Structure 1
Amino acid sequence: MSRGRAAPGDTGDGSGGPGRVDELDVLRGFALFGILLVNAQLMAGPYTAFGGGPGASAADRAAAWAVTATTTVYQLFSFLFGYSFVLHRRAARRTGAVFPALHLRRTAGLFGLGLAHAVLLYPGDILMTYAALGLVLYGLRDLTPRAAVRLAVALVAGLAVLLLGYGLLTVALTEPLTPSAYAPRVADTVAAYRGGALSVVGAHLRELPTALGANLMYAPDMLAAFLAGLAAAGTGLVERRGRDRRWLRRTLARWLPVGLAGGVVTACCANGPLDSRWFLVGHAVSLLTAPALTASYACAVLLLAGAVRPVADLLAASGRMALSQYLTQSLLLALVFTGYGLGLYDRVGTALVLAGCVPLYGLQLAVGARLMSRVRYAPAELLLRTLTLARRPGRAPACPDSPPAAHVPRPAA
């Protein structure tokens, strides 16, 4: 797998220029599959992510259980966001750009895209949260790698303790919820998502506060992953170790068992055999072990990409247009499951939903490779880059804080 030689100046701008760190694009391309697996379940119906409602088949329950046990969704993207933040800052410093102005416009553009995504396609959007946390990350930009790691550990440990304590109180003091307890609300949601476009948007708006609340609850964990990326970029971890096969194998062997063990506990709490009261306990365990699983997957993907060049090329192409791919996933899923299109909400089992994700992801990889061989920027990346620069890429800078187009990055989705 090739890598740009000017790695410290990598811009992450989607242009595929010589200053990119290809390993980061490969990891983004891989992470899109995990995002698809989880979001497809959440967009397919109210029960799909838990293996289906009452009377669901054993295959559906097993499929949901397996995904919960093995999938870490936002942590890898969050790590890459923090890593790219450092590369963006270096690029701005090298070109004499005013980084605060670029970063503020970029996060504002990301927030706007996220808001539109949440209202029109999927209320569980993560882009708005990333934009807000991006401002926090800017305030912490001068932390040393060691300080960043210590703060990340403290954030994760603190949130895990809170969730574990609240979860254990829930187990001790409450009774398990039965399907009949929330059946009327589920019926209203199903009807709304099978209705027309206005009905779907209305459902999104009703669910948006709850989704934002959930993102806020897990914001410390996302920020911790940002900080881990900040620290890793500060030491050039990917540039130094991304092709070190011996180190990648050793890290994979050391941390994969830990990550999978935590995933199994999380799945038992979220998808059975334990009842719904154990949900937060499982997620407390996940907070502590998901970093190990994320690191293991990253090492495994880099090992595969280093050994099979076509795989690296496919993943890297999608990684360069990760924001467009993420939004496209939501659009296609909305057309399948809501009244925008087929209206199959709550009509497809979990196993079939997950099976359908495989060809969809394969199609995305193929389209991504073809598109990025023809254009410099995918649509969403071009829009975000234009907002960041306050001009269309390729034109002469209109103000001193707008550096040449080849040097201004876009954030990872």
Structure 2
Amino acid sequence: MDALRGFSLLGILVVNIAFLASGYRMAGMAEPAFDSPLDWGVRWVVTLFAENKFYLLFSFLFGYSFTLMVESARRQGRPFVPMFLRRLAGLLLLGLAHAVLLFPGDILTTYAAVGVALLIFRAIRPKTAVMLAVALTLLLALGFVLLAVLAMAGLDTSHTVADGSAEAAASNSALGGDIFQIVSEHLRKLSLIIVLRVLFQGPAVLAACLIGLAVGKLGAMRDLTSYTVVLRRLQQVGFTAGPAGALVYTMSAWNGVPHKFWGEAVDLVTAPLLAAAYAATFLRVLPHLPRLGRALAAPGRMALSNYLAQSLICALIFTGYGLALVDRVSPPLEVLIALGIFAFQVFYSRWWLRRHRYGPVEWLLRFLTYWRKPARRGGRHTASA
């Protein structure tokens, strides 16, 4: 699970760096300065194979880890609800600081809200959890179908939740300015995306968490050899329907054909299938690549620290906090920078975990969760939420 979490963290960075590097990408547009075939090829590949897939994997692992925390609290005789609520409060505070100071596309605040829903559903049966996740996904897709129909009727809401090109250029200027300008721009972006975050991303994250909760309750990860047939079927379905849906989504995102809302509707249904195929492939291949597993497990064990560090490093590169290279880096170079950051995090995480039991932010979150100082050194700790 730590290795899968590290793999998800890499995918999230490859996607997020484009949004951190340019106000145009946050507005749903390509940067005008980068229009070569290579630039467009990278955009299409990242959108097709990575966008909206890896945060679902991360959300699945959040739901799975929730079941481990419930079981751990039961074994130790600790009251779980107040403990987990303190953890969610910590995630909320970290997420708000992350969104305002570094990246308005923060996911931690969404996890804090979804965590409350997991508390409510913690006694749900695995089959019911899966059915609820499917229902949520279909309802979300229908929501985007409705928006698409309204757009065809002349009521297009696309620009009510995103900037136009003039606003995107102004955003770049603000992000290259001082801390006051950067924070003000982040707050403005948050005001634009909060509706989509509450109505669409939140339920999508909850659906993925419910699948993780169901898998955790079934104990499927304890003996993957018993689920080889299931993993193979996930690969077959996911690698068939997933890329087809991702292609529709990518065409709608970059060519506007079909309308972007139709693409979103299709992607909501098919992106989870492709994410599941990624996970199934990873879990089947990993036993044959132990060195890769160990490399990915280290950043996965301190995923929260690394997630926040990724935004901090990118802010130092792209905003006025540091080099102010906003909208000056091409998509291919963005991907190379993302790979370089993650490679650094692999080595740094292994170095840190040889000396500490938890990552720095994980240590803080555990302190808030258990309301006592965690051990700085000790045995291996895995599958943190």
TM over 0.5: yes
Report what 2:222 is aligned to: 239
| Partner deviation per Cα, 1:247-303 (whole Å, 9 max, x = no partner) | 54453234212111111111011122627xx11211111111111111111122223
Percentage of matched positions with identical amino acids = 41
How big is the shift at 1:304? 3.0
Report if aligned partners of 1:248, 1:300 keep a CA contact under 8 Å in 2: yes
Q: 2:77 aligns with which of 86, 96, 121?
A: 96
* In structure 1, C-alpha distance between the alignment counterparts of 2:251 and 2:189, rounded to whole Å: 26
Report what 2:37 is aligned to: 58
Q: 1:370 aligns with which of 351, 364, 373?
A: 351
How big is the shift at 1:175? 7.9
Aligned residue runs from structure 1 range 12-411, under 5 A: 24-48=1-25, 50-53=29-32, 56-71=35-50, 72-173=53-154, 182-218=164-200, 219-241=202-224, 248-272=231-255, 274=257, 278-394=259-375
* In structure 2, C-alpha distance between the alignment counterparts of 1:369 and 1:282, rounded to whole Å: 40
* In structure 2, C-alpha distance between the alignment counterparts of 1:284 and 1:240, rounded to whole Å: 35
How big is the shift at 1:217? 2.3
* In structure 2, C-alpha distance between the alignment counterparts of 1:113 and 1:84, rounded to whole Å: 19
| Partner deviation per Cα, 1:23-58 (whole Å, 9 max, x = no partner) | x11111000111101110101112346442377222
Helix, strand or coil at the partner of 1:341: coil
* In structure 1, C-alpha distance between the alignment counterparts of 2:116 and 2:248, rounded to whole Å: 34
Helix, strand or coil at the partner of 2:23: coil
* In structure 2, C-alpha distance between the alignment counterparts of 1:250 and 1:173, rounded to whole Å: 42
* In structure 1, C-alpha distance between the alignment counterparts of 2:152 and 2:314, rounded to whole Å: 35
Give the letter for the 2:77 counterpart: G
Structure 1 residues 348 and 198: alpha-carbon distance in aligned structure 2, compared to 1, 3 A threshold: same
* In structure 2, C-alpha distance between the alignment counterparts of 1:242 and 1:230, rounded to whole Å: 20
252-261 vs 374-383, greater mean Cα deviation: 252-261
How big is the shift at 1:409? 8.4
Structure 1 residues 341 and 193: alpha-carbon distance in aligned structure 2, compared to 1, 3 A threshold: same
Structure 1 residues 252 and 183: alpha-carbon distance in aligned structure 2, compared to 1, 3 A threshold: closer
* In structure 2, C-alpha distance between the alignment counterparts of 1:69 and 1:113, rounded to whole Å: 30
* In structure 1, C-alpha distance between the alignment counterparts of 2:226 and 2:108, rounded to whole Å: 30
* Displacement over 4 Å in runs of 4+: 174-178, 242-247, 405-411
How big is the shift at 1:238? 1.6
* In structure 2, C-alpha distance between the alignment counterparts of 1:407 and 1:97, rounded to whole Å: 21
* In structure 1, C-alpha distance between the alignment counterparts of 2:78 and 2:17, rounded to whole Å: 40
* In structure 2, C-alpha distance between the alignment counterparts of 1:259 and 1:189, rounded to whole Å: 33
322-331 vs 362-371, greater mean Cα deviation: 362-371
Give the letter for the 1:202 counterpart: S
Report if aligned partners of 1:30, 1:315 keep a CA contact under 8 Å in 2: yes
Give the letter for the 1:318 counterpart: P
| TM-score, structure 2 as length reference | 0.91
How big is the shift at 1:184? 2.9
* In structure 1, C-alpha distance between the alignment counterparts of 2:330 and 2:368, rounded to whole Å: 40
Structure 1 residues 189 and 51: alpha-carbon distance in aligned structure 2, compared to 1, 3 A threshold: closer
* In structure 2, C-alpha distance between the alignment counterparts of 1:153 and 1:246, rounded to whole Å: 21
Instruction: Report the number of matched residues.
Output: 376
| TM-score, structure 1 as length reference | 0.85
Structure 1 residues 308 and 410: alpha-carbon distance in aligned structure 2, compared to 1, 3 A threshold: closer
Structure 1 residues 82 and 186: alpha-carbon distance in aligned structure 2, compared to 1, 3 A threshold: same
| Partner deviation per Cα, 1:326-371 (whole Å, 9 max, x = no partner) | 0010000000000000101111122221222122222211221222
Helix, strand or coil at the partner of 1:47: helix
Give the letter for the 1:261 counterpart: A
| Partner deviation per Cα, 1:81-137 (whole Å, 9 max, x = no partner) | 111111100100110000011101000001011011111111111101110110011
How big is the shift at 1:411? 5.1
| Partner deviation per Cα, 1:60-79 (whole Å, 9 max, x = no partner) | 22211111111113111111
266-275 vs 32-41, greater mean Cα deviation: 266-275
* In structure 2, C-alpha distance between the alignment counterparts of 1:342 and 1:394, rounded to whole Å: 37
* In structure 1, C-alpha distance between the alignment counterparts of 2:35 and 2:145, rounded to whole Å: 29
Ranges in structure 1 where 5+ consecutive residues have no aligned partner:
1-23, 396-404
* In structure 1, C-alpha distance between the alignment counterparts of 2:30 and 2:14, rounded to whole Å: 13
* In structure 2, C-alpha distance between the alignment counterparts of 1:103 and 1:210, rounded to whole Å: 30
